[in-house]
Amino acid sequence: MPRKTKDINPYYMEQEKNKENAEEMLRRKKQKEREKRINQKKKAEEKQEDFDLDTETVINMTNKNKLKKDEERRKKITREERKRKKRIKRIKFFVKLFLLVGIIAGGITFALTSPIFNIKDINVINNVTIPSDTIISLSGLKSDENIFRFYKGDIINKIKENPYVESVEIHRKLPSTIEIDITERVATYNVDYMGKYAYINTQGYILEISDDSRDMPIIQGATTNEEDIVPGNRLNDEDLRRLEQVIRIMNAAKDSGLDGQVTSIDISDENEYSIYLNDEKKRVYLGDSSNLSNKMLYVQAIIEQEKGKEGEIFLNGDLNNGFNPYFREKV
pLDDT tens-digit map of 12-34: 666 667 777 777 777 787 787 77
Q: What is the pLDDT of residue 259?
A: 92
| DSSP secondary structure code for residue 102 in this structure | H
User: DSSP character for 261?
Assistant: G
Q: Is the pLDDT of residue 240 over 80?
A: yes
In this prediction, residues 240-255 reach a mean pLDDT of: 96
- Distance between start and end Cα atoms, the chain: 201
Give the tens place of pLDDT for each residue, 192-232: 888 899 999 999 999 999 999 999 999 999 999 999 999 99
Per-position DSSP letters for 299-328, written without gaps between them: HHHHHHHTTT--EEEE--S-GGGT---EEE
Sign (positive or negative) of CA dihedral 253, 255, 259, 261: negative
pLDDT of residue 4: 45
Q: Which of 62-66, 253-257, 307-311 has the lowest mean pLDDT?
A: 62-66
3-state secondary structure (DSSP) of residue 204: coil
Mean local confidence (pLDDT), 127-138? 95
The pLDDT of residue 298: 95
Q: How far apart are CA 243 and CA 192, in angstroms?
A: 14
C-alpha span between 267 and 265 (Å, rounded):
6
DSSP state of 231: T
Contacts (Cβ under 8 Å, ≥6 apart) of 228: 236
Q: What is the pLDDT of residue 226?
A: 92
Quick check: 146 pLDDT over 70? yes
* pLDDT at residue 6, rounded to an integer: 45
